[in-house]
Each structure stands twice: as structure tokens, then as C-alpha cells.
């Protein structure tokens, strides 16, 4: 799924609230957001969270147009242009010409951007690992199983989106 499709898909409602566990989707999103904040608030960030998120989006979806990046991040194109410029000045992304249309500029992550993103991820993991180490084997197994379920949910969402995507 490209970034434009991901932006459209992100607008889909919380279908988990209609199943046998009302509120599951809301609970899951709240806990995941809290876990993410836990990991990021306990480390020195080598770049701001918004820039790390942008790098992760570009890495996950491949080269993208500025407008598509703005749509996925729910911001204006001028705001995204500023974020991309900052990443470009740090040599974390580069602008390339779209081979199908020379008028279109695409943003791609550089090798340095990948190294930086991997370092941020490793720091976040290091922040949460001590908490996970306090869990018993049974709880760690439950979490490992839950991670696999979440991967399937996300993989299925990419394969079969629930609404028309341009």
C-alpha cells in the first residue's frame, strides 16, 4: 500500500467496537500509544519524534511524494515540506525525480536515514526491555502471541482494505 492509500485507509472507523468485545479497538490503541510514549520519553532522542515518524513512514512505504507524506501525517503540505527539508539538511532523506514523470519529486530515505532510524528504534527497545524482563514467562508468551496477532491484523488490513483507496 502506498502512502496515499495508507492515508485514506487511516480514516477507516473502529470496527473492533462492533464485535464481541466493545471498546477493544479503543483500549488497544490507548495502550499501544502509552507504550510508545513510555519508550520515547525515557531516551535521549537523536531527532524529534515527528521526524522519526516521518522517516519510518518513508522507510515503510518507499519513495513518496510530498503531498502523500502530508496526507499520511495529517498535516499541510507546507508543514511537511519543512519537515522534509530538515531531514534533507541532515542527509537523512533525499529528493529524487519520479522515473514515470520528471515533474514529480519523490522523497526517499538515505542510508544515513536508515542508520538513524534503526538507532532510534534500538534506543526505544532498550527503554522497554527492563520492564519486559520483570514479567514472568507466561506473560512474555502472551505478549509474544499478541504481537503475532497484531502483525496479522495489520498485514490483513494492507491486503484487504475496507474502503475504496485511490
The CATH class that applies to domain 3-159 reads: mainly alpha
pTM of the model: 0.73
- Residue-wise pLDDT tens digits, 16-49: 445 567 789 899 999 999 998 888 888 887 788 8
Backbone conformation region of residue 11, classed left if phi is above 0, alpha if psi is from -120 to 50, else beta:
alpha
Task: For Cα atoms 22, 25, 31, give the angle at the middle one, nearest 5 degrees.
Answer: 120
Average pLDDT, the chain: 84
Positive/negative CA dihedral, 106, 51, 70, 30: positive
CA distance 110 to 55: 10
- Residue-wise pLDDT tens digits, 5-18: 444 444 444 444 45
Looking at residue 115, its pLDDT comes to 96
CA distance 145 to 70: 34
Helix axes 3-10, 49-61, angle to 10 degrees: 120
Whole-Å CA distances, 101 to 6, 68, 72, 95, 126: 22, 16, 22, 14, 43
Amino acid at each position: 500500500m502506498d502512502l496515499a492509500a495508507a492515508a485514506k485507509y487511516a480514516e477507516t472507523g473502529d470496527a473492533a467496537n462492533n464485535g464481541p468485545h466493545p471498546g477493544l479497538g479503543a483500549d488497544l490503541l490507548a495502550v499501544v500509544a502509552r507504550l510508545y510514549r513510555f519508550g520515547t520519553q525515557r531516551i535521549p532522542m537523536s531527532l524529534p519524534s515527528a521526524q522519526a515518524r516521518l522517516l519510518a513512514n518513508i522507510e515503510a512505504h518507499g519513495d513518496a511524494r510530498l503531498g502523500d507524506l502530508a496526507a499520511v501525517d495529517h498535516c499541510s503540505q507546507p508543514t511537511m515540506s519543512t519537515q522534509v527539508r530538515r531531514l534533507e539538511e541532515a542527509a537523512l532523506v533525499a529528493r529524487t525525480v519520479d522515473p514515470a514523470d520528471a515533474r514529480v519529486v519523490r522523497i526517499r530515505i538515505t542510508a544515513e536515514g536508515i542508520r538513524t532510524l534503526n538507532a532510534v528504534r534500538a534506543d526505544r527497545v532498550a527503554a522497554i526491555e527492563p520492564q519486559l524482563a520483570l514479567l514472568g514467562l507466561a506473560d512474555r508468551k502472551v505478549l509474544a502471541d499478541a504481537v503475532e496477532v497484531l502483525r496479522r491484523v495489520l498485514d490483513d488490513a494492507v491486503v484487504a482494505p475496507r474502503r475504496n483507496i485511490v
